[in-house]
Amino acid sequence: MATILPHAARQVRHLEGQLLAQIGRWGYDEIILPTFEYLDVLAPGLETELLETCYQFIDRTTGRTLLLRPDATAQVARTVAMGLTGARFPQRLAYRTSVFRYEPEHAGRGREIFQIGAELIGLKDVTGDAEVITILIECLQSIGLRSFTIALGHVGFIKGLMARSGLSVRARKRAEQAAARKDLPRLEEILKAERIARSTAMAIREAPELTGRKEVLTRGRALAAGDSALLEPLERLAELYQLLCSAGYEDAVLLDLGEFRGVDYYDGAVFDVFAPGVGAELGGGGRYDHLIGRFGADLPSTGFALDVDRLFRAVAFPEETEGVPRIDYLVIGPQRAMSGVSEVAAQLRRRQFRVAQQIVNKSPRRLLTSAVQQGQAQGARAVVVIGMPGQNRSDEFTVIERAAHRTNPARNGRPSVKKMNLAALIKATQYMPNTPNINGAP
């Protein structure tokens, strides 16, 4: 579980702010989920494999087993099923959260996974699937990611092939896991062990490799051989694909009849998103019309989640250098000027600047030198010194602006030293670019 240091933390918060803002423009409201739950309460929404990777511990008060949140979608499903989000549908919910899963140390990923996600609940029409995929695409575009691919499939097709094959329940589960990983040798091994008919086995082996554009649907229909249980998911997938192409996203979407996600609660259209240079999916999602029913009544639902850490690696961020200011202003002065220091700092913060304030015990002659040193040490773009000798009015002060951060720095590189009052400083800030806050807003 990683510690995210200040420079990276600013970038991560900015990234999260952009993503949540984009999701919010579609009418999604943020929900904050609990970090841990009682195992028996959340277990109906979790797969056996996921339960095996949970961190579990005993509640000292009740003696019941608690677990750290391993899956946000299951928590949303439980919350909606309990009626806590109201009875009006569709509901649009978004979250920024961490999930915790035990991963072997050689697996190459953390055990705390930062996620941004969205869930659309109560809309069964294919337009709901199109909505969440469109939001996903817009989210990636909003953070500057231009090269990515969404692998889009329907679990009903490959599950239907396996159901038709006569695989035993246990073997079918193993085959589904192998198909989800695109592990064709393992899939072949399972089919041989179960003595599946050659023609049926060939169709199952072919499905995970059926990727492309419209021609994939044509081949899928041929493999379905008139079976309505296979044709129905194909037609739903075709309708969804057409909607996305009509919206201008044909280049971003790749049909994949072997797309499976490997999570049992998905029962419709599913998708993963990939980007060059990242050796795993950036996120994904799909339809889960029966997950909420594990906690109450069924509700058609679909959604997605993005792995913030992987997104962070996929997006180019500028490196922080020593010349980049950590704060906009340092307001500094002696003890007798404390009220002035506080007032000026507060005025600057109201204008959304990052401002530190400091009281120093220096002689009047050394105050200016000390202020410059403190400004450099704290990485301030400019220093406001209050209480300098010769400043007769209470609202007068000295502003020292580092040459590297001035709009028109002096050629000799020396800092600019000006006498100002508060009104003049406020006016000057109109022409000074400020830094973004943690939510990404200027």
Q: What is the spatial distance between Cα 399 and Cα 306, in angstroms, rounded to a whole number?
A: 45
**Which whole-number Å values give the CA distances from 306 to 19, 277, 314, in the listed order?**
10, 16, 12
Residue 148 in contact with residue 274, Cβ under 8 Å? yes
Residue whose entry in the numeric block shows the structure tokens 């019941």: 64
Is 414 among the annotated ligand-binding positions?
Answer: no
Is 73 among the annotated ligand-binding positions?
Answer: yes
Is 79 among the annotated ligand-binding positions?
Answer: no
Q: What is the spatial distance between Cα 8 and Cα 11, in angstroms, rounded to a whole number?
A: 5
Number of Cβ within 10 Å of residue 336's Cβ equals: 10
- Joined tokens for residue 67: 């677990």
Is 71 among the annotated ligand-binding positions?
Answer: yes
301-322 as b/e: b if 16+ CB within 10 A: bbbbbbbbbbbbebbebeeeee
Q: In this structure, which amino acid lies at residue 174?
A: R
Residue 212 in contact with residue 255, Cβ under 8 Å? yes
Number of Cβ within 10 Å of residue 180's Cβ equals: 18
Is 328 among the annotated ligand-binding positions?
Answer: no
Q: In this structure, which amino acid lies at residue 299?
A: L
Is 329 among the annotated ligand-binding positions?
Answer: no
Is 266 among the annotated ligand-binding positions?
Answer: yes
How does DSSP classify residue 414? P
Helix (H, G, I), strand (E, B) or coil at 438: coil
Q: What is the spatial distance between Cα 308 and Cα 101, in angstroms, rounded to a whole number?
A: 16
Residue 95 in contact with residue 116, Cβ under 8 Å? yes
Is 194 among the annotated ligand-binding positions?
Answer: no
Residue 132 in contact with residue 247, Cβ under 8 Å? no
Of 3, 8, 224, residue with least CA distance to 112 = 3
Is 28 among the annotated ligand-binding positions?
Answer: no
Residue 55 in contact with residue 67, Cβ under 8 Å? yes
Residues making up the annotated binding site for L-histidine are 71-73, 101, 115, 119, 261, 265-266
Residues making up the annotated binding site are 71-73, 101, 115, 119, 261, 265-266
